[in-house]
Homo-oligomer: A and B are copies of this chain.
Amino acid sequence: MGRWEPNARGRLVEAALELYSSRGYDQTTVAEIAKRAGLSERTFFRHFTDKREVLFGGASEFQEQLVRALDNAPVALPAIDVVAVALEAIAGGFSERHEFARRRQTIIAENAELSERERIKLASLASALADALRRRKVSEPAATLAAEMGIAVFRVAFERWIRETNQPDLPHILRGSFEELKTVTAGK
């Protein structure tokens, strides 16, 4: 193992975001990220498998948290409310990451391959939610529909949250978006 580098991971993320923003994701190499962070490539690869993982490394942890929150939701709730409760429960943890999320989203939106990767991650999140609902004995197609609705609402709320600058509250925006979903679906 190499020597300990203070906050190596945070420095690598910051260096990567700066380079992805200024010169573009495709034009940035791992060597350049490491150099800008004042660290070695070896240290980079102790924290990330590749340059894409700097942007998507949190996805599996997010999925695990979400499934756990869903498993812990009250039994008597309808499927759509189980999904809403689970999403709101973990949305609270996002507040410190607003600045990172905003910069990350700009980089992803400007790159077709990264945008596709983001969509795939969201689809796999929806599949994991549907699996967890079926474990709660929610039948099909209700499980798939509730999971897909939840992820669509989350995406809409997340994008609104990112655009706001005055200490926006993701759980609050999420609740509002679920209300909009109900209005839209009822055809009002």
Contact = CB atoms under 8 A, between A and B. Distances in A.
Interface in A139-178: 140-142, 144-146, 148-149, 152-153, 155-156, 160, 177
Copies in the complex: 2
Contact of A119 (B123, B146, B160): B123
| Chain A, interface SS category | helix
A187 interface: yes
A162 to B, nearest CB: 13
Given A149-B152, A152-B148, A141 B177 contact: yes
B160 A152 contact: no
Interface string A114-153: 0010011001000000000000000011101110110011
Interface size on A, as a range, is: 20 to 34
B119 A78 contact: no
B184 A80 contact: yes
Query: Among the interface residues A81, A153, A184, which one has the most CB atoms of the partner chain B within 10 A?
Result: A184
Given A152-B148, A156-B144, A180-B142, A185 B187 contact: no
Contact of A186 (B148, B155, B180, B186): B186
A140 to B, nearest CB: 8
Most buried by B among A120, A145, A156, A183: A145
A182 interface: yes
Nearest to A142: B184
A79 interface: yes
A186 B155 CA distance: 20
A39 B136 CA distance: 53
Given A120-B116, A120-B119, A145 B184 contact: yes
Interface of A: 78-81, 116, 119-120, 123, 140-142, 144-146, 148-149, 152-153, 155-156, 160, 177, 180-188
